[in-house]
């Protein structure tokens, strides 16, 4: 409970602060992995393969979970949405992976607020927040 409260306070501080707000979209360009949903690391911790979100310099986005999502990011002020988000239609088991995928899809179809702060990408709506960590290059 204490960990959840601290995580939620941390996210709220980041979202209300402006020091880490990207001046341009270059901060989004990277490969990200989901690390938390609404401040909770469950169900993300239980996944054997962490889904990744890739954003390239042309703002094309690809998400690899049970289903693959692809589209083009559109940014207005601090809002992020995807244009023509396409998805594969696999029959995914309704488990932790499906839960994580559902939240990510919801954030990408937006509109979502976004913030890049160091190695963290946060997408948030009025109802939910999905936190991503930058994938370290090997």
User: Would you identify the CATH topology of the domain 2-134?
Assistant: Lipocalin (2.40.128)
Six-digit token string for 113: 């607020």
CB 74 within 8 A of CB 81: yes
Q: Are 80 and 114 in contact (CB under 8 A)?
A: yes
Please check the confidence at residue 4 and state whether its pLDDT lies above 60. no
- Whether omega for the bond prior to residue 120 falls within 30 degrees of 0, making it cis, is no
Sequence-ordered list of residues with C-beta below 8 angstroms from that of 27, at least 6 positions apart, any chain: 116
What's the mean pLDDT when you consider all of the chain?
Answer: 81
Higher per-residue pLDDT: 4 or 117 = 117
33 and 51 Cβ atoms separated by less than 8 Å = yes
| % of residues, the chain, pLDDT over 90 | 33
pTM of the entire structure?
Answer: 0.75
**What residue has token string 């693959």?**
68
Nearest by Cα to 65 from 107, 15, 4: 107
């Amino acid at each position: 409970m204490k960990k959840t409260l601290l995580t939620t306070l941390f996210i709220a501080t980041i979202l209300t602060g402006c020091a880490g707000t990207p001046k341009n979209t270059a901060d989004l360009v990277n490969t990200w992995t989901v690390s938390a949903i609404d401040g909770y690391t469950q169900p993300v911790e239980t996944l054997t393969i962490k889904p990744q979100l890739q954003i390239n310099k042309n703002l094309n986005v690809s998400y690899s979970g049970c289903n693959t999502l692809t589209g083009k990011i559109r940014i207005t002020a601090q809002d992020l949405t995807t244009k023509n988000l396409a998805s594969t239609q696999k029959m995914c088991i309704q488990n932790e992976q499906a839960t994580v995928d559902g939240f990510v899809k919801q954030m990408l179809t937006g509109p979502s607020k976004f913030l890049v702060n160091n190695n963290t990408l946060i997408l948030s709506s009025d109802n939910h927040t999905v936190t991503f960590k930058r994938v370290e290059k090997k």
